Amino acid sequence: MRIFLLPGRKGGDEWLLKDNGKVTLICLFSSWCAYSVASVGLVESFAKLAGDKVNITIIWEDKGEHQWLNHQHIAKDNMLWQSLWDEYGFAGTYFKRKIWPTFLVVNEEGVLTQVFTEYSEKSVAKLKSLLQR
């Protein structure tokens, strides 16, 4: 399933979803949202537990390239997963995002199966449940 291309942090455009038969966690964040920034640590912990079982993509809905590249740049530069920029909010509109952070789970067949929001204990529990498949 290929939805659309977005600029990647490492240069060039990248597909939002990869066709590799894995579950994908998509995180809709904004650099100026404190809960999004706090969620980077949550995603990092999840990534360590998940290993290569789950694709992870963070989409930063920042209004300008300078903000995307420079605000919280140390955390962003150290991410081992896909980090994309969505200047015009295409992903947020497509997935009907209401708040940041929003987490979306896309199954192996490319079907959206879960949407959950906020940085909370419930979010942690839902991320952990992805690993018990």
pTM for the full predicted model: 0.92
**Cα torsion 85, 87, 89, 90: sign:** negative
19 pLDDT tier (thresholds 50, 70, 90) = confident
Amino acid at 7: P
Q: What pLDDT is attached to residue 133?
A: 66
Distance CA 13, CA 45 (A): 26
Rounded Cα distance, 43 and 115, in Å: 15
Per mean pLDDT, which range of 23-27, 57-61, 96-100, 121-125 is the poorest? 121-125
Element (H, E) at 68: helix 65-70
